[in-house]
Chains A and B, each alone.
Chain A
Amino acid sequence: MSLYVTELRRLAKRRLTRVMLVLLVLGLTGIVTAFAFSSHKLSPAVIAQAQAESDANFRDAVKDWERSIADCDAAKARGEQTEDRYGPNCGRDWKPTPEMFDPKWNLPYQFDFRAEFGVFIAVFAGAVALFAFLIGASFVGAEWSTGGMMNLLLWRPKRLTVLGTKLAAVLTTLTGVTVVLGALWTLAFWLIASNRGTTEKVTSGVWQSAGISGLRAWGLILAVGAVAFALASLGRHTAMALGVAVGVGVVSEIGIRIAMTIAGVRFGDRWVLSTYALAWFEKKWTLVDYRSCELVQGECTPKEMLVTWQDSALVFGIGTAVVMVAAFWMMRRRDIT
Chain B
Amino acid sequence: MSAVLEIEGLRKTYKSRRRGVRNALDGFDMRVEAGQVHGFLGPNGSGKTTTLRTLLGLIQPDGGRMAILGHEVPGALPTVAGQVGAIVESPQFFPHFSARDTLSLLAGAGDVPAVRVDEVLELVGLRDRAGERVKTYSLGMKQRLAVASALLKNPKLLILDEPANGLDPGGIREMRTLMRTLAESGMTVVLSSHILGEIQLICDEVTIISLGRRVAAGPVEQVLAQHSHGGVRVRLDAAEDLAAAAELLGRAGVAVTRHPDHLMLAGVDKPATVSRLLAEQHLYVSELAPVAVDLESVFLEITATAPVPGQHRQVDQSAKIGEPGHAGTTGGWGA
Q: Which residues of A contact B (CB under 8 A)?
A: 2-3, 5-7, 9-10, 13-15, 142-143, 146-148, 150-158, 333, 335-337
Report the number of A-B residue pairs with Cβ-Cβ less than 8 Å. 76
Question: Which chain A residues lie closer than 8 Å to B130 at the CB level?
Answer: none
B87-120 contacts to A, CB under 8 A, are 88, 91-97, 101, 105-106, 108-111
Tell which of B59, B109, B110 touches A335, judged by Cβ atoms closer than 8 Å: B59
Tell which of A3, A9, A15, A336 touches B96, judged by Cβ atoms closer than 8 Å: A15
Query: In the bound complex, do residue A6 and residue B95 qualify as a contact, i.e. CB atoms below 8 Å apart?
Result: no
B188 in contact (CB, < 8 A): no
10 cross-chain pairs, A with B, having the tightest CB-CB distances, nearest first: A147-B92, A6-B108, A335-B59, A157-B77, A336-B58, A6-B109, A155-B110, A157-B57, A148-B94, A157-B81
Query: In the bound complex, do residue B92 and residue A146 qualify as a contact, i.e. CB atoms below 8 Å apart?
Result: yes
- A143-B53 contact in complex given A150-B58, A157-B78, A333-B60, C-beta closer than 8 Å: no
Roughly how many angstroms separate A254 CA and B182 CA in the complex, as a whole number?
63
B55-101 contacts to A, CB under 8 A, are 56-60, 74, 77-78, 81, 86, 88, 91-97, 101
Roughly how many angstroms separate A326 CA and B85 CA in the complex, as a whole number?
31
Query: In the bound complex, do residue B59 and residue A142 qualify as a contact, i.e. CB atoms below 8 Å apart?
Result: no
Which residue of chain B has its CB nearest to the CB of A145?
B92
Other contacts beyond A6-B105, A152-B106: 6, CB < 8 A: A2-B108, A147-B93, A150-B91, A154-B58, A154-B81, A155-B110
A138 to nearest B CB, angstroms? 11
Tell which of A142, A150, A152 touches B109, judged by Cβ atoms closer than 8 Å: A152
Q: Summarize A's interface: helix, strand, loop or mixed.
A: helix
Roughly how many angstroms separate A5 CA and B105 CA in the complex, as a whole number?
10
Question: Which chain B residues lie closer than 8 Å to A13 at the CB level?
Answer: 97, 101, 105
Query: In the bound complex, do residue A153 and residue B109 qualify as a contact, i.e. CB atoms below 8 Å apart?
Result: no
Question: Which chain B residues lie closer than 8 Å to A10 at the CB level?
Answer: 105
Roughly how many angstroms separate A147 CA and B58 CA in the complex, as a whole number?
12
Q: How large is the interface on B (under 10, 10 to 19, 20 to 34, 35 or more residues)?
A: 20 to 34
Query: In the bound complex, do residue A154 and residue B101 qualify as a contact, i.e. CB atoms below 8 Å apart?
Result: no
Q: Which residues of B contact A (CB under 8 A)?
A: 53, 56-60, 74, 77-78, 81, 86, 88, 91-97, 101, 105-106, 108-111, 149, 153
Query: In the bound complex, do residue B96 and residue A153 qualify as a contact, i.e. CB atoms below 8 Å apart?
Result: no
A310 to nearest B CB, angstroms? 40
Question: Which chain B residues lie closer than 8 Å to A5 at the CB level?
Answer: 108
Query: In the bound complex, do residue B106 and residue A151 qualify as a contact, i.e. CB atoms below 8 Å apart?
Result: yes
Query: In the bound complex, do residue B78 and residue A158 qualify as a contact, i.e. CB atoms below 8 Å apart?
Result: yes
Which residue of chain A has its CB nearest to the CB of B58?
A336
Query: In the bound complex, do residue B88 and residue A154 qualify as a contact, i.e. CB atoms below 8 Å apart?
Result: yes
Query: In the bound complex, do residue B93 and residue A155 qualify as a contact, i.e. CB atoms below 8 Å apart?
Result: no
Which residue of chain A has its CB nearest to the CB of B101?
A13
Query: In the bound complex, do residue B57 and residue A148 qualify as a contact, i.e. CB atoms below 8 Å apart?
Result: no
Query: In the bound complex, do residue A9 and residue B59 qualify as a contact, i.e. CB atoms below 8 Å apart?
Result: no
Question: Which chain A residues lie closer than 8 Å to B109 at the CB level?
Answer: 2-3, 6-7, 152, 155-156
Query: In the bound complex, do residue B58 and residue A151 qualify as a contact, i.e. CB atoms below 8 Å apart?
Result: no
Roughly how many angstroms separate A143 CA and B93 CA in the complex, as a whole number?
9
B41 to nearest A CB, angstroms? 21
Roughly how many angstroms separate A14 CA and B101 CA in the complex, as a whole number?
11
Query: In the bound complex, do residue B58 and residue A146 qualify as a contact, i.e. CB atoms below 8 Å apart?
Result: no
Question: Which chain A residues lie closer than 8 Å to B94 at the CB level?
Answer: 142-143, 146, 148
Which residue of chain A has its CB nearest to the CB of B14?
A335
Query: In the bound complex, do residue A154 and residue B56 qualify as a contact, i.e. CB atoms below 8 Å apart?
Result: yes
Query: In the bound complex, do residue B60 and residue A337 qualify as a contact, i.e. CB atoms below 8 Å apart?
Result: no
A157 to nearest B CB, angstroms? 4
- A335-B91 contact in complex given A2-B109, A3-B109, A156-B110, C-beta closer than 8 Å: no
- A155-B91 contact in complex given A13-B97, A14-B96, C-beta closer than 8 Å: no
Query: In the bound complex, do residue B60 and residue A155 qualify as a contact, i.e. CB atoms below 8 Å apart?
Result: no
Question: Which chain B residues lie closer than 8 Å to A155 at the CB level?
Answer: 81, 106, 109-110, 153
Roughly how many angstroms separate A147 CA and B57 CA in the complex, as a whole number?
15
A200 to nearest B CB, angstroms? 50
